Structure 1
Amino acid sequence: MKTAEITLDKDYRISLIDKRLYGSFIEHMGRAVYNGIYEKGHRTADSMGFRRDVSDLVKEIDVPIVRYPGGNFVSGYNWEDGIGPVEQRPRRLELAWNSIETNEVGINEFAQWAKLVGTEVMLAVNLGTRGVDAARNLVEYCNHPSGTYWSDLRISHGVKEPHKVKVWCLGNEMDGSWQIGTKTAEEYGRIACEAAKVMKWVDPSIELVACGSSSNHMPTFPQWEATVLEHTYEYVDYISLHRYLGNTDNDLGEYLAQSVDMDEFIKSVIATCDYVKAKKRSKKTINLSFDEWNTSQSCRINYDKKPEPWMIAPPLAEGLYNLEDALVVGCMIITLIKHADRVKIGCLAQLVNVLGPIMTQNGGPSWRQTIFYPYMHASRYGRGIALDIKVNAPMYETKAFGDVPFIEAAAVLDEEASEITIFAVNRNQDEALALKGNLNGFEGYKVKEHIVLDSKDPKAVNSAEHPDTVVPHTVEIVHEDDIITVLPKLSWNVIRLQRV
């Protein structure tokens, strides 16, 4: 059996991980909200119409923050449509997704759902069709205690205490031609600066995310980031990144290596942020919000199947994720952890049905997709200090990325519990790899649990009829001094060590 070797040192640390790195995203798109988290009349629905079975799965992941309400949707959204008596709310033509928006769920309902599942809300403002005035009013409505028009209006809607939303996105993908109100970097930079300025005047405690490029493959990347930050640098705290991976060439080796591109994307954005910092002679550091990421491979075909126009909650970007997709998601999570010093917020896009780790049937069951498990494991066991792990592993050749190691890995130290968790993906399609470990400064740490997600069939999926086809299992602990464990071929691994 071939071996891979990892080296950890207690003094080589990347950063304390911000828990919001394991966030997610709910957009008014497809069945993410309606017939996703919310379905009046469902047997598990609570008094507000939220599905308890879905809420329980969100709690199982322990999602720390959820971006809302979009996404492309937000660039045409009038937030005032979603407040006040539900029966008086207007139905709108929703142009981003060619749907009817009923506005049954708005800011207050979503905030209540967030409390129910134990998460924070990350709100996006419309800088497509709206602007500075609507943005500042929304902050006042959500965060000001009382005694003003918008805060008292919130109270009249039955919400006495302010929502205290901490993180706000200044629009969404404003460089994209598909976006309502697309802007040049100069146009967006100016309106984002003015919106940021007045939003922080209303509530100085908030944190703001400026729109970065929609992907690193945009022709304007990374000049977009540089221009936007030159306008907004002193007012914003983060710049956003979005990236979706996919096995478009039906080449599993290439697909599993695509997180290399994600890693380079992050490095390029960090370099651009620091260039603007140097240019401005600023002492402030801009961090990153990777607030849309996932693989869209299993849902790609669905994008091409356009439903009838002006439906309510049509099925969009839905598909069954297989084991291969779960391994790619695992590699993406590992990439985020390895950049925890600068990537402070991450949002798996999305949470339910639309590219979702959680799936539902209208009126029927909910279940965990394969990608649910690496996401849940990272959120549960990835809280602590990201360690600067060194990996020495056999390589394989790819067309796009050159030689890529079979092992992708990250490590997190929980000092309070005296635990180390190693997350590792074995990209090898043919054989298992023994994992050796050099744990410098971590004397007495032994493997207490090794969780594996794998399958005899890499194309295996979970479904409503067969929800447990691909599920994690524990494997026998190896009792050899130099071998930590064995990583099965094509597997996601959670290796938990504790000081004994």
Structure 2
Amino acid sequence: MRTARLTLDPGFRIGDIDRRLFGSFVEHMGRSVYTGIYEPGHPAADADGLREDVLELTRELGVTTVRYPGGNFVSNYRWEDGVGPVEERPTRLDLAWRSVESNAFGLNEFMAWARKAAVEPMMAVNLGTRGVAEALALLEYANHPGGTALSDLRRAHGAPEPHGIRVWCLGNEMDGPWQMGHKTADEYGRLAAETARAMKRFDPALQLVACGSSNAYIDTFASWEATVLEHTYEHVDMVSLHAYYEPVDGDVDSFLASGAEMDRMIDSIVATADHIGAKLRSRKKIKLSFDEWNVWYQSRFPGESALEWSSAPRLIEDVYDTVDAVVVGSLLITLLRHADRVDVACQAQLANIIAPIMTEPGGPAWRQTIFHPFALTARHARGTVLRVEPQSPVLETARYGEVPALWATATHDEESGAVTLFAVNRDRTAPLTLTADLRPLPGLRVAEHLVLDGSGEPAGAVNTAAEPDRVRPVAVDGTATDGDQLTVQLPPASWSMVRLVPATGTATPPAAPAPTA
């Protein structure tokens, strides 16, 4: 039996958890909006056309913040097209995804949805085909109380109170040649700096996110961030990271180690940002917004040029199995292990497009396999992330070299005394016995051990509309503490969550946030 060890000690901390780590993403792409979160006439739609079954699943998922309206879509988007009387809104061509956009759903509809979903909005501005003036106009329309042309226009559109959007993305993936209005790092850096300076003049308390690299393999990775931050360092609060993972050429072993690649990517951008901060002699620390991440089988996507012009097409609707869910769980572990620098993270996307929630037009909504590790982590990762230093066997992967078989983190809620351990066994061939030293946290008992087993049968099992609960976490009996030691059996290719509570305390999990009106 292969073994691994770690120690849980509240004296060794990475940082407090920013609840915005459990964010999601809604883009005008495919069926993310139309027949995803918004479908007037659906049996579950409310008076605003919002699908209440999707709202319920969103709250269950534990999403805290949602990035909108893109994504590639935003770089050719006119926000003005999506406000005002719906019957007067123009139909436009979306060049990003070769789709026909009705603009029936726009800013005010999204904000109504966000309030009902109890999520914080994260708004992106178009710095591809537009610039400073248009960003300021959107900001005034959204956030100014009234008494100006644009704020009074919002009020006339049925939104009397300002939306109070606090977090703004300064464009999207402007390093990518596929982006409308693609720019060099210098071109984008200067535009982002001028936009940030103007937006902070409107409200210094805004939090602004500069575009980082669209992936870790683009030629300009890290050098892009260095140049952009030379321009924007004192004007922005975060820089973005984007990454998607799949088993390249069927290499499942490397796929299960995707968290190692995300870990290196974060370390690289932290080092780059800190280098620029030192160069500028700044005391400020730039934080990270990992505002696009997920498993995405990009090799199955023929590319935008292969798409036919249509409205809300079925686009990139990947169906996930248990191994995909284990990888998503490992990526969440990686984000938690960087809680000192990653303030925001958004799984892309929320509904239908590479999503934890699937829907059918006029039909049901259901949870994909990847829904479960996200929902459980969002619900139980509370308080402070502990710095665990596992001793683990190593695996050799073709893509990432040697990686530890055990990928783990733990959180400690000082108020309740609860500790939650999240652990992935990356080894597809053998189980792993994990022992955790609890001497610094005496008197804990196991309240719950749940596992998603990617090695179990039937291989490749997925959730569908017909079988929505075929794959879900399974409770493991018998996991217990013995004195000051916890022993956990981790099946091959599995994700586990073990909740520990004070022996005299309650095992009741934290309640999901209540929806707002």
- TM-score, normalising length from structure 2? 0.94
C-alpha offsets along residues 174-208 of structure 1, whole Å, 9 cap, x if unaligned? 01000000000000001101111111111222100
> Secondary structure, in 3 states, of the residue corresponding to 1:498?
strand
2:169 alignment counterpart:
169
Match of 1:381? 380
Query: Distance in 2 between the 1:81 and 1:27 partners?
Result: 15
Is the deviation greater in 454-463 or in 209-218?
Answer: 454-463
- For 1:480 and 1:412, locate their aligned partners in 2 and report how far apart those are by CA, in whole Å: 17
Show the counterpart of 1:496: 499
Matched residues in 2 for 1:65 and 1:136: separation? 22
Q: Distance in 2 between matches of 1:410 and 1:456?
A: 27
1:199 pairs with 2:199: yes
Indicate conservation of the 8 Å contact 1:408/1:424, yes or no. Answer: yes
Q: CA deviation at 1:245?
A: 0.6
The 5 Å alignment of 1:342-361 reads 342-361=341-360
* Distance of 2:381 and 2:436 partners within structure 1: 19
* Cα deviation, residue 412, structure 1: 0.7
Match of 1:255 in 2: 255
Give 1:175-186 correspondences, 5 Å limit. Answer: 175-186=175-186
**In structure 2, what is the equivalent of residue 486 of structure 1?**
489
Once the two structures are superposed, the pairs formed by residues 84-123 of structure 1 within 5 Å of their partners are 84-123=84-123
Q: Which residue of 2 aligns with 1:59?
A: 59
Query: 2:98–2:304: 8 Å Cα contact kept in structure 1?
Result: no
Residue 441 of structure 1: aligned partner: 440
2:413 partner letter: D
For 2:438, what is the secondary structure of its paired residue? strand
Structure 1 residues 308 and 245 mapped into 2: Cα distance closer, same or farther (>3 Å)? closer
| 1:273 aligned onto 2:273 | yes
SS in 2 for 1:292: strand
Task: State the alpha-carbon separation in 1 of the partners of residues 156 and 80 from structure 2.
Answer: 14
Paired residue secondary structure (2:331): helix
Q: For the residues of structure 2 that align with 1:356 and 1:478, how far apart are their CA atoms?
A: 32
Paired with 1:355 and 1:312, the residues of 2 have a C-alpha distance of 18
Change (3 A) 1:175 1:304: closer
Q: Secondary structure at the residue paired with 1:133?
A: helix
Aligned-partner residue type, residue 78 of structure 1: R
State the match for 1:208 in structure 2.
208
Q: Which runs of 5+ in 1 are unaligned?
A: none
What is the CA distance between 1:300 and its match in structure 2?
A: 4.1
Cα distance in 2 for residues equivalent to 1:204 and 1:483: 48
C-alpha contact 1:39 1:50 (8 A) present in aligned 2: yes
Q: Which segments of 5 or more consecutive residues in structure 2 lack a partner in the other structure?
A: 504-517
Q: Per the alignment, in what secondary structure is the counterpart of residue 350 of structure 2?
A: coil
Structure 2: how far apart are the matches of 1:294 and 1:198?
A: 33
Q: CA RMSD in A?
A: 1.3
Q: TM-score, normalised by structure 1?
A: 0.98
**For residues 199 and 249 of structure 1, what CA distance do their matches in structure 2 show?**
45
The SS at the match of 1:392 is coil
Q: CA deviation at 1:90?
A: 0.2
* Contact 1:303–1:317 under 8 Å retained in 2: no
Q: 1:174 to 1:305 in 2, by over 3 A?
A: closer
- Residue in structure 2 matched with residue 234 of structure 1 by the alignment: 234
Cα distance between partner residues in 1 of 2:276 and 2:160 = 42
> Does the aligned pair in 1 maintain the 2:4–2:433 contact within 8 Å?
yes
Cα offset for 1:484?
2.5
- Note the C-alpha offset of 1:439: 2.1
Superposition pairs of residues 135-154 of structure 1, within 5 angstroms: 135-154=135-154
Moved more, 473-482 or 8-17: 473-482
- Once residues 304 and 154 of structure 1 are traced to their aligned partners in structure 2, the CA distance between those partners, rounded to angstroms, is 37
Distance 1:340 1:77 in 2: 33
Match of 2:509 in 1: none
Give the secondary structure class of the aligned counterpart of 1:367: strand
